[in-house]
Every structure is written in C-alpha cells, then in structure tokens.
Chains A and B, each alone.
Chain A
Amino acid sequence: IIRLLFSKTYKLQERSDLTLKEKEELIEEWQPEPLVPPVPKDHPALNYNIVSGPPTHIITVNGKECINFASFNFLGLLNNEKVKSAAQASLKKYGVGTCGPRGFYGTFDVHLELEERLAKFMRTEEAIIYSYGFATIASAIPAYSKRGDIVFVDEAACFAIQKGLQASRSNIKLFKHNDMADLERLLKEQETEDQKNPRKARVTRRFIVVEGLYMNTGDICPLPELIKLKYKYKVRIFLEESLSFGVLGEHGRGITEHFGINIDDIDLISANMENSLASIGGFCCGRSFIIDHQRLSGQGYCFSASLPPLLAAAAIEALNIMEDNPDIFQTLRAKCERIHKALQGISGLKVVGESFSPALHLQLEESCGSRENDVKLLKRVVDYCMNSGIALTQARYLEKEEKSLPPPSIRVVITVEQTEQELDKAASLLKEAAQSVLN
C-alpha cells in the first residue's frame, strides 16, 4: 500500500517527446488551407445589383428604371421631404458621426428624445436604441440568457436571432414553425426534467423567442396562445417585431395591438428601424426592470459607437408622421390583400405569406431537383421582370450557416407608394414571366 501511495501516478503521456529537429520538420511540412476558398465567378450572391440613385419607389437598377418591389420601405418614408429636412437640420447641428460609444460622450439629446418617443409610442416604460438593426436582437438575447438557461425558439427565426442565441451559449430547443402543440410538448418535457432536479430548476431561466411577422415565411405568430403558455409554464417571451412594427395594428404598434394584448405581458420587444421607419438602427422596449439591464450588459450598446444623430432625427420625424397619419396602415393592408389575391394562381409559383403581410415570398411549386437549379430558374424570372420594369430580388440566405434553410424564393415587398395599376402590372408581369420561364 505504501508503495502504491508513493509511486508516481499513472498519467497518459500527453506530450510525446519530440526532438528539436523533428519539431522543426513538422513546422516545415505543415501546410495551412488558403485563407479563403476561391469563389466561382458566377456565384449568384457575388454580383450585386448596383442601384444608382435613391432606392425609393422608382429605382434605377443596373441602369434600368424599375418600380421598386424589393426594398423594405413599407410606409414610403425613405423619400419623404419632412424626414429629410429633419435629418438635414440635425446634420447642420451635430455633424455626421458621434465619435464615441454611449458611455463616453456619445449620448446626444436626440438619442434620449428618440428613446422617450419610442417608449411613449409603444406604451412601455423605457426603450433603448442600438446603432445597427442586426446587432439589436443579437445583443439583447445574450444579455439575459446565459449558459445553462433554456430558450425555446421557432424554427423559422431569422439569422440575427440565431446569432444572438449562439452568442448566449444557452440550451436551444427548436419547435416547429407556429406549431403550439409542439411547443407545449417541449415545455411539458422541460417541466418533467425540472421536477427531477428542483434546485437547478429554480435558477434556470426560460425564454421563448418568436417573431411578430416572420421574415422567412411571411406569417405571424399566434400570440394569444403564447401568452397562455407563458403563464402556465412560467416562461418569458421575447418578441422580435422587425417586420410588424409600423405595419400591424391599428396605429402601427405591431402585433400586440393587432391581437389586442396588454403590452406588459411581453417581456421584451425588439425591432429594427430599418423597415418601416426608413432609418438605420434598432430599438428594444419594455419595462424599465428589463431594459435597464441592457445599458450595462448589451454588447452592441456598450462597446459600439452610438447612432449618428441625423439618423435618429430622421427616425423621430418618421415616428411623427406615423402618429399623425394612422390611416396609412389601413391603406398598406388593403394593397397587400389586393396583390395577394392577384398573385394567386400563377402557374409554377406559389405565394407564401399572410394576406396582410407586406413581405411575401414566391416559391417554386415543384423544385427541379437541386437548390442551385432552383436558384438559377428564379433568377431568370427575376431578370425577365427587371427587363420589363419591375425590380424584384431573390431572398438571400447563407446556405451553410442557417439552421433551417428556407427554400429559394423571390421576395415581393409592398409599400404604400405603389399605386393599384402598378400592383396589377406587377402581378400580370409575374404571370407572364412564370409562363415563359417555367414552361
């Protein structure tokens, strides 16, 4: 026994003893991969469309003038004179950049004003602004959800949410898109797990992350059922309203107004200002208890320069316009329904999305086999339309990085500025294009 105690512990030899010469040989022989693999010249995402001039209602793409059905300019505020003059005034007062993060002399009075206005508009206690739309939700999620916490997220969540979840290192459980039964099943499984280990369950936080209007599929989440599940299983809800802010609801307040739900029931609403508000950046709103935490621990907030004041002023003016004209939301919805109806029945293409969603997808009814061929086919449809005066684009994804890759599709965006004739023209043109290319 004493011998065992005193003998050296048996350790697996981690390091082989290589001589200096052998080491140098290894260093000589090692060949790394090239930093980036070469990209084939005809990769669909390599050649961008060059837009000369402002991306407004009439857009000049690659030299051709077209009607814009591809920019997310839902309320037509991109070219609005009042918005532009507000931004000009702010440019004259503050210059362009803010030269610092929010903590170090980068907080301007326009930022504070915008935060107050957004909180008042959305009827919450507080709002916080980020300078980049993608970074908003990608910084908000890791601020609350850490390693060991559990997040239930929809399969069709957008890429920014996926990156936020990856940065948070929590356990992620995907449930089928808009399938409340599947979510309930997962929640029940989690509950039985919790009962086995109540001490751990008392400290693991649980979140559901959903989008108001999904970018990848164009439909909305069933929020009333989610609220019921929230109180039943004690999970918190984070709602991402990038597409539904300024679109759904009587006054444009998003999906909570659409369903008539008390906004305090949702723990955090995050949206980006790049769609309806025609500015740059994003915001999160909710109760002070929740939002204040992000001021110290939101990575995209603390470690990054603040939003340029001219963009904040543009957003404030856009909010003013939204508050003063609540009937544009009705008009937008009517146009969406019109084109949704008009696009039904195109041979070869099916419409994916709710009838009141301003961002639809047109997918191939039957795929031709490989994704590459589908993409090429859709490109021919898009080119046909562009040559005849309607600017469309394919929905772009990073194929290798997405968790659940949606099928290739054409993105159709409806804005308030498009007239009825233009909508009809677009529908008939798409019918023609589908006929000629797909048959």
Chain B
Amino acid sequence: MLVAVLTYVGYGVLTLFGYLRDFMRQWKIEKCQNATEREEQKDFVPLYQDFENFYNRNLYMRIRDSWNRPICSVPGAKVDMMERVSHDYNWTFTYTGRVIKDIINMGSYNYLGFAQKTGACQEAAAKVLSQYGAGVCSTRQEMGNLDKHEELEKLVARFLGVESAMAYGMGFATNSMNIPALVGKGCLILSDELNHASLVLGARLSGATIRIFKHNNMQSLEKLLKDAIVHGQPRTRRPWKKILILVEGIYSMEGSIVRLPEVIALKKKYKSYLYLDEAHSIGALGPSGRGVVEYFGLNPEDVDVMMGTFTKSFGAAGGYIGGKKELIDYLRTYSHSAAYATSMSPPVVEQIITSVKCIMGEDGTTVGRARVQQLAENTRYFRRRLKEMGFIIYGNEDSLLLSLLSRIKYGTFYNSSCSCSATTGIIVMISLSLGSAFGREMLKRNIGVVVVGFPATPIIESRARFCLSAAHTKEMLDTALKEINEVGDLLQLKYSRRRLVPLLDRPFDETTYEETED
C-alpha cells in the first residue's frame, strides 16, 4: 500500500517537473529540443493536443533508452546489440559504432529457437528465395496465390487438426481484418479484459456490440452470456444474431493461460462461437507443440476459429486462421486481407513449412519434439529458481510468461497440474522508473530484458519480462538467474514472504493470498 502511494507521489513530482520545464521552454529559458511545426503552418490547428504529448515529452523521454534497442545479429539465444549513447538526456541517440556482443537475449519471442542463421529451415528458405524472389506484388484473389501458399495452408491445417486453414501476411492484420468479416452489426462480441490491441481493433472495426468480461473469470462470462441471450440487443430487444467470445491462449502481459475447458463448456451451453488467439501458445504449449488445445487435451473441433501467428514460435512472420471448411471458404471470399492485401513472401512461407514439419517430426528427426521439451524444462527450472530466490511470479505455473511481482498486496495465481509450458517471465514493479533501472542494470550485465510501461499495463504496474527459449542452455539460464538475483537485491525487488501452496485437488482454482510487505 505504501509503495503504491509512493509511486503516485513519484508520478506527481514528475508531472510538476514536466509543467515547469514546459513553462521554461515556452519562455525560451530552456532550449526546446523536440521537433516543431513548420513556420508556414504555425496557424493551422495544432496536430497534437498539448496534454497528449505531455507524457511523451516529459516522462517517456527520460527512459526512452529501454526500448527500441537496435540489434545486429540473428535474434537467437545470444544477440549482438549496437551501442548507442545519448548526450542530451535521450532526446537524440548517436551510435558509437561499437557492438556489444553476446547479450543473453531474454526479450525476443524466439520460443522454439527457430531464429537461426544456419540449419535446414534457413537453407530451404534460401533456395526458395533464389527461385521465387522476395516479393509477390499481387493480392491473394488476383495473381498472388502461389503453390507455396496452398502447400502451407494444407500443412497448417494438418498440424492443428482442423479441416482447413488460411494464412495471411501479418498477425496483427489477421485479427483486425477477419473479425469484421465474421461478425457485423447486430452481433455481440464478448472479449476478455486483457485482449491484445489487434483483437480490440478488429472488434471495433466490425461494428458489433462489445462487452468485456473480467480476465479469465468464468462467472463474469456466464453472467454476460445469460443476460445477453435473455435480454437481447440493448434497446430493440431483438435477439442477437451471433455471439462471439474472444480469448487468447496465453496473455502476453499477465502470463495466464485461458481456462479453455470451462470456456468451451459455456460456449456449448449457450450456443455461442469461440475465437481463440494462440499468438503465444502455438508451438509452445502441449506435449507436441500444438498449442493450448492440446495442453488441455481437448478436441480442436470444439474451437470454432483458431487463430495464431507464425512470428513467435516459428521464427517467421504472418498469421493464420484454422477451422471448418465452410469458415475458410467464406474467409477466402470475404476477408479484407484476401481481396486487398499482398500475400506472404515466399521465403517466409518456406521457413514456416520447414519449421512446422520439424515440430511435427515429419522431416525425419526428433529435433522438433526435443525443442518443445527443452522449452518446458527451461520454464520449469527458471520458475523454480526464481521462486527460491524470493521473487514473486505472476502467471500460470506452466505459462511461458513469467512475471515477477515486486510489491503488490494481493496476487492471484492460477495453478495447474499439467506439465508442459512455454514461458516468459514477467516481473511486476510498481513504478516505471524502477522498471527502467532494472532494464539498464541488466544491460550492463549483458542480459537483455524487456520492460513494459504505461500504455500497455496499468499505471502502477510496470513489468520486466523474460522470454525463455528452447535455445537457452542451462548455463545461460544460470548466468541470467545470478544476475537477476544481484539486481533484485540491489533494487529490492524480492517480496515473497510466503510460499505459494499449490492446490492439487482442484486444478482450476483462483487462489488469492495476501502478501506482507518487507
């Protein structure tokens, strides 16, 4: 409690400072360093509201160096980063030309380690590049549908266990362009509190009514479903045309896994449709990497629309949607992306084909399977060690995302008794300055982590996130853990006083517990 108050006080101080500096800039006491409007256009309506830019100018500029760090090697387990310094407090950066080598990369979404510059995937992609070229220059419906795309779609459908699938060039665009094609006015969308921006944008663009249920809270979802069916559309009382539930497999900022069996039970009871976004969980959860559906041992045909991206576990770019044949045929005809957006680039398609075959084991080796298991082991090891060191971890036991709590009074944990998982670790700090200090200290010790702040998380919770990968060896994890320990002591981030007791008899429980402060 004290800490939350202190954080608010801190923000208040920064705001005051910000006003002071703005004042000085206006009166030209302090030099104004950000870009300004053209002279000829000074009397146009200002492009940015003053207050919008306030956060940007005063708060973000101070800690800007934690983001957009440029790298210059393959984003594998170890990465080289270009060094940049700022002589004027982060307003501009200059590159010194030196390269910091071998930073342990805990920031890229390289879950199965397919981001490599040698190996079967890369060779196949090189061959396809020399044969097909880099671009496509046409849309799917016109002249851009290559045989490679057809091959990819059949393969993805087989991998997921659905009837057919369709691939798109960008994961964000997959959501924002296909949700409007599936639902429209007169339909209802029930979306989780913490859904990703692409799902929110797709829901808004569709024109349907959106209602939000609390994160992973099945009672809230059930209540909304009941009310919706009983009372119909808000003013006219007509029955809804369709109800679509939008959930994600793993939530990237929380690290929690969706409660899929319960959602499916609800969906069947109330005759609605389920849209599952497996951006982080495909390839990483489940004993053979087929995602959250396999993790829970459910039937993939129960999920109406399975969506995912190829960026994270497959080391390429793009997204897909899988489902019944009628659904995919409809999307081929009516999806915005098929009619207006260029299709995927051929070497990227080849990378996905090779990596999917590797995971399924069809290329003759057991490399894929081994990687999935390595990832699960890495996760469990990392989590256990962090807990032993006294940090609090946010998120599911098995989830890829590890979140460390620093000073929170109440925490909710979702226990699971299943075994595999992918992971990212998230450390939750109260204030953003603590977060950015953490990021800088870790970089000094040659470990790259990700710090997330205000727009993506609530204002008093900023997080540092660790993304584990199958390419991390035990030594790398140990080095990382040692450094995290040091930095944690330095910044006083360890706040676990009570050990979490997992409830093994009821696997999907919401356990609340109270944390005492230091």
Contact indicator A105/B71 (Cβ below 8 Å): yes
Question: CA A300 – CA B141 in complex, angstroms?
Answer: 23
Residue of B nearest to A80 (CB): B133
CB of B75 within 8 Å of the partner chain:
yes
Q: Mark A58-101, 1 if CB is under 8 A from B, else 0.
A: 01010000001011110000110001100110011111111110
Q: Does B179 make an interface contact (CB < 8 A)?
A: no
Which single member of A26, A95, A163, A279 contacts B315 (CB below 8 Å)? Answer: A95
| CB-based contact A311/B134 at 8 Å | yes
Cβ-defined contact, A84 with B117, below 8 A? no
Interface assignment of A369: CB less than 8 Å from any CB of chain B? no
B387 CB contacts on chain A under 8 angstroms: none
A368 within 8 A of B: no
| Other-chain contact of B73, A72, A94, A104, A288 (Cβ < 8 Å) | A94
Among the listed B204, B317, B450, which residue makes an inter-chain contact with A98, where contact means beta carbons less than 8 Å apart? Answer: B317
User: Bound complex: CA of A84 vs CA of B327, how far in Å?
Assistant: 37
Residue among B48, B71, B133 making CB contact with A78, cutoff 8 Å: B133
Does B131 interact with chain A (Cβ within 8 Å)? yes
- In A298-321, the 8 Å CB interface with B consists of 299-300, 302-305, 307-308, 310-311, 314
Is B239's CB within 8 Å of the partner chain A? yes
- Which of B38, B115, B305 lies in contact with A287, CB distance below 8 A? B38
Is B73's CB under 8 angstroms from A205's CB?
A: no
Note all chain B residues with C-beta closer than 8 A to A59: 143
Task: Name the A residues within 8 Å of B345 (CB-CB).
Answer: 279-280, 308, 311
User: Is the CB of A49 closer than 8 A to any CB of chain B?
Assistant: yes
Which residues of the partner chain A approach B146 to less than 8 Å between Cβ atoms? 50-53, 55
Most buried by A among B171, B201, B331: B201
Interchain CB contact under 8 A, B122 and A95: yes
Judging by beta carbons under 8 Å apart, are B272 and A48 in contact? no
Interface size on A, residues (CB 8 A): 122
Bound CA span A366–B271, Å? 48
Q: Are B226 and A23 in contact (CB under 8 A)?
A: yes
A-B contact count (CB 8 A): 358
Report the bound CA distance from A98 to B74 in whole Å: 8
Out of B69, B172, B271, name the residue touching A303 (CB < 8 Å): B172
Say yes or no: B134 contacts A83, CB within 8 Å.
yes
Q: Which of A105, A112, A204 has the most CB of B within 10 A?
A: A105
A54 CA / B130 CA spacing, docked (Å): 10
Of A2-10, A127-135, A181-189, A348-356, the one with at least 4 CB within 8 A of chain B: A127-135
Q: Which residue of B lies closest to A300 (CB)?
A: B172
Chain B residues near A303 (CB, 8 Å)? 172, 196-198
User: A234 contacts the other chain (Cβ, under 8 Å)?
Assistant: yes
- Residues of chain A contacted by B3 (CB below 8 angstroms): none
Give the Cβ gap from B247 to chain A, nearest Cβ, in Å.
16
B67 neighbours in A (Cβ, 8 Å) = 103-104
Contact A73 B326 (CB under 8 A): no
- Tell me if B373 is interfacial: C-beta within 8 Å of chain A: no
Chain A residue at minimum C-beta to C-beta distance from B147: A52
6 A–B pairs (Cβ distance < 8 Å), ordered by A = A45-B332, A48-B141, A70-B138, A94-B75, A105-B71, A158-B340
